[in-house]
Structure 1
Amino acid sequence: MPELAAYLNFDGNCAEAMNFYAKVLGGKPAIMTVGQSPMRDQLPPEAAGKVMHSCVTFDGGKLMAADAMPGCPSSAGRGASLALTYPTPQQARPVFDALAEGGKVTMPMQKTFFSEAFGSVVDRFGVTWLVNGGLIPG
């Protein structure tokens, strides 16, 4: 069975974003820059500090990302949302609050017909998160 993981693109702040997500989600980031990669001589020198590939693995998931290369604009946060589901509202709330720091809450965390707690936030990197705590069967 295949594994599905989100892959985000950033405009030069990928390492900062992935370190933030690792802290919020309780994972450890693995980050490789262009300068550290076998392709370093095939890309312009100004790309050396950009993230070629990164991954944060955490309990229940994997998030991958890279910086957009010169001449290729980023698509971070455009047309997609990342959904996190926790067993309880008490587990979901601190994650939602951390993602909201420096970002914009688009729906405050509250009870809905499908979840004991649900909220939506665009984080400081422009990524939209949908955070659930305690899904209601139905």
Structure 2
Amino acid sequence: MSLQLSPYLVMNGDGREAIQFYEKALDAEILFNQSLGEMCENSDYPIPAEAKEFVGYASLKIGDSILRVSDSHPGQPHQVGNQVTICISTDDEEKTQRIFEALQDNGQVKMPIQQTPISPSYGIVTDKFGVTFQIYTKINL
């Protein structure tokens, strides 16, 4: 079973600019980049026209590491200083669920485990130390 940790940056509408910056500054290679409009076009949560070009999900390879980037969804608060989370990916839905449940002990669930366009099991939890984790089961992106 695979388990991987990577930083996840949540930007405030300037995700495309951040990706371009990291491409140049860190010699990043874009592995995947999908707009919020593309990602949510058949969603129960319609995206306002002004946010359709925001970054829905991007994955950048920097050296031997992966950096994940997205813009915050419309209506979600964005606070500078809290825009970096840790992304935990597994290749097993049961393992994803176990990790999520363990981290929520005395923490706060931001998004319960659920199926999303990028994963069959995805959730967000802030642990009792105030560290926010995005936990998901991998699909090929």
TM-score normalised by L of structure 2: 0.49
TM-score normalised by L of structure 1: 0.50
Higher relative contact order (CA 8 A, sep 6+): 2
